[in-house]
Amino acid sequence: MNFRLLLQYDGTDFHGWQVQNNLRTVQGELERAIGMFEEAEVKVIGSGRTDAGVHAEGQIANVHLNRFFTTDKLRLAINGNVGRDVRVLQVEETDDNFHARFSAKVKTYVYRVVNAPVISPFWLRYAHHEARFLDVAKMNETARLFLGEHDWTAFSAARSDVENRVRTVKEFAIDSFWDARANAVVIEFRISANGFLRYMVRSIVGTLLEVGRGEKDSDTIWAAIVSGDRDLAGKTAPAHGLTLLKVDYK
């Protein structure tokens, strides 16, 4: 049977999604937990990797199991055997062909920035802190340049085994709101695409933060997109501000 899992995790204490020897990873933690009650080798397939420190509010994974479980039992069995910083929120039985990575159509990430003199302890783990003024209208105007199908070489990790770097950004909006709890303005960068390269969201956000501070203009950004020249892009924003929000399937 093939089970589809809706997962949340606080990435702070994980070395990312993907299994690595001797390091605590989300995939590793899930496979270890499921291995406690499944005799065959367990392979948990995620919609994609998230890097060390990146969070998930709506990661999707699937796992094939020989043993029969009701969906509630499987959820409880996994949650009882993993750290409390990762939770299976929902389990569904799905058809055998469902593959969390290959079946994914659109992924949405949110990058959060606390724009205030002081960052609240309640945002510390989940948002990047920027005390300087950020021009949200200017960032939103510039964000439109990132829409559509492009080769994202300038906005991805230099070393990568991915050959095709063309992806389609479908939506990109920047909103800001007053968060009374944190006594601060929170800015959310929400970006959807049919796929993302490694560091792509963090590189795009880091570049836009330079626009928001008035350090970069939109001509330079357009040149970066068109030329693929990494030197024209901005600094990669830190991992802990990034959260995988949702994954859409057909």
- Interface residue with a copy of itself among 31, 38, 85, 188 (CB under 8 A) is 85
The burial class, CB within 10 Å (0-12 / 13-18 / 19+), for 155 is buried
Tokens (6 digits) for 2: 């093939």
Strand partners, 111: 189, 242
**Distance between CA atoms of residues 230 and 43, nearest Å:** 35
Kindly tell me which of 120 and 194 has the beta carbon lying closer to a copy of itself: 120
51 a catalytic residue: yes
Kindly tell me which of 3 and 152 has the beta carbon lying closer to a copy of itself: 3
Shortest CA distance to 54 belongs to which of 220, 217, 212, 198? 198
User: Which is the catalytic residue, given 51, 85, 151, 179?
Assistant: 51
CA angle 249, 189, 100 (to 5 degrees): 20
Total Cβ atoms within 10 A of residue 24: 14
Asked if residue 104 binds a copy of itself (CB under 8 A), the reply is no
Asked if residue 247 binds a copy of itself (CB under 8 A), the reply is no
Asked if residue 118 binds a copy of itself (CB under 8 A), the reply is yes
Element of type H or E holding 185: strand 184-193
Q: Which residue has the tokens 């560091």?
A: 199
- Interface residue with a copy of itself among 10, 29, 130, 210 (CB under 8 A) is 10
Asked if residue 3 binds a copy of itself (CB under 8 A), the reply is no
- Interface residue with a copy of itself among 3, 4, 9, 210 (CB under 8 A) is 9
Asked if residue 181 binds a copy of itself (CB under 8 A), the reply is yes
Asked if residue 218 binds a copy of itself (CB under 8 A), the reply is no
Tokens (6 digits) for 3: 């089970």
Asked if residue 189 binds a copy of itself (CB under 8 A), the reply is no
Interface residues with a copy of itself (CB under 8 A) are 6, 8-10, 55, 57, 75, 79, 84-89, 117-122, 124, 126, 181-183
